[in-house]
């Protein structure tokens, strides 16, 4: 049967990992490395995760709203461009009709 590996604890100097040592030797080794000061890793506040599902729903709603906003802008821009093209086509047809009338008058 495989032998269980010893648990590993970490000795931290603010923002720097100093050493990995087994639990029995943890405080002694840290005192050697740091002098008398031993800094333990901060506790994790698990109560913060109570609101996590709500935060995910809010994120999803924001994402959908942003997508709808971009789609709306795209539709607005395409309608604006179509209106411009329609005016340009009508102006070209009008100019062509006027040119034909002038050609008929000259003949």
Both tokens of residue 52? 């996590």
Both tokens of residue 49? 């995760």
Picking from 29, 31, 35, the residue whose alpha carbon sits closest to that of residue 6 is 29
30 exposure class (CB count in 10 Å sphere: 0-12, 13-18, 19+): buried
Both tokens of residue 93? 């047809």
Q: Give the tens place of pLDDT for each residue, 78-97.
A: 999 999 999 999 999 999 99
Q: Give the tens place of pLDDT for each residue, 31-72.
A: 666 555 555 667 888 888 899 999 999 999 999 999 999 999
The alpha carbon of 103 is separated from its chain's Cα centroid by a whole number of angstroms, namely 63
Per-residue pLDDT, 45: 83
3-state secondary structure of 4: coil
Per-residue pLDDT, 90: 95
Domain ranges of the chain: 1-39, 52-107
């Amino acid at each position: 049967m495989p032998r269980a590996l010893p648990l590993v604890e970490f000795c931290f100097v603010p923002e720097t990992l100093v050493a990995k040592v087994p639990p029995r030797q943890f405080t002694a080794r840290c005192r050697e490395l740091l002098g008398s000061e031993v800094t333990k890793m901060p506790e994790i506040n698990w109560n913060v995760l109570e609101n996590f599902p709500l935060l995910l729903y809010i994120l999803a709603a924001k994402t959908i709203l942003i997508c709808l906003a971009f789609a709306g802008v795209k539709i607005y821009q395409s309608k604006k461009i179509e209106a411009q093209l329609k005016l340009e086509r009508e102006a070209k047809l009008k100019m062509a009709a006027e040119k034909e009338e002038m050609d008929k008058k000259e003949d």
